A = this chain, B = another copy of it.
Amino acid sequence: MNVLVVGGAGFIGSHLCDDLIKKGYKVYCMDNLSLGTRANIAHLENQGAFELIKGDASDREEIEAVFAMAEPEYVFHLAANSDIQASASSPDVEYRNTYTTTYEILMAMRRHGVKRIFFASTSAVYGEKKDVLLSENTPNLSPISYYGAAKLGSEALISAFTYMNDMTALVFRFPNVIGPRLTHGVIYDFIRKLKLDSSKLEILGDGKQTKPYIYVKDLVAAIASLSNIDSNVEETGVRLYNVGVEGATSVTAIADILCEEMGLCNVKYEYTGGEGGWKGDVPRFTYSTEKIRAEGWKPEYNSDDAVRLTVKSIIGV
């Protein structure tokens, strides 16, 4: 069966391609290679079942050409700007790469009669809700980042397109996802800083920002387990799940794990102060994953484990 992974050369997308190839699908990977890299999928490019198409999914002609050629039966949509901090100063990136990609993918599915989509959404759709256990039934979603807004807008599009065109959609709201091939974020930044100067580490905020981190392979297993790729009979509509892990890890705890794994003992932490690390960041949240656990999925690694594994994979120990 032909499947299309949009954003398939990115951090999460490339791990999903690995899994889909292993399971025997013919995988078309569309990526604009702005955040995704050929290095992420280099090991797949010599396989006949894998095809990379460089292209921009927000461009109608380019996505149309991909649909016409790949004739996918299932679309995995992971194309987005994933660097929230960067888009704070240029919202156009989210308008084009996060929202418009979703719109044009859905329009292409509508034109080609493709009925099934997986969509990578985010905990950022909730906004900053202090002392609320975030579940799929939490009301008043009020994103505080352009990224969260574009993802919530995308979810709204999926709701309408699904209804109007008898499609079925699986939507996961990811928390922070980490693992090999990570391209940005706090772990990535800390390693970069410590490699430049291992005597001190600047930490944005008060270091108490605490979030659940999921290991990318756990996440891919969740996608594989719930996407029912081979099933032909499915109800139309949207199935939406929070995907998460046990526990959460503070920024200071991340620094501690990192120093330990890098064998650094006397790193001086320098806090910039304040609550959040940067505007649009949600400093702490807890996530209900009861609904997806009821489907039989659970992650292998907790949040601290995920951080440690990721650190090891990046520093190469």
A contact set with B: CB distance below 8 Å? 88, 91-92, 95, 99, 103, 107, 110, 125, 127, 136-146, 148-150, 152-154, 156-157, 159-161, 163-164, 238, 279-280
Contact = CB atoms under 8 A, between A and B. Distances in A.
A145 to B, nearest CB: 6
A160 B144 CA distance: 4
Quickly give the copy total for this chain: 2
A127 B103 CA distance: 19
B159 A144 contact: yes
B140 A156 contact: no
B143 A156 contact: yes
A-B complex: 6 closest residue pairs judged by Cβ atoms: A153-B153, A149-B160, A152-B156, A139-B139, A144-B163, A149-B156
A107 B90 CA distance: 10
5 contacts: A91-B161, A127-B163, A138-B139, A142-B159, A144-B159
A107 B163 CA distance: 31
Given A136-B140, A140-B137, A280 B149 contact: no
Nearest to A153: B153
B156 A279 contact: no
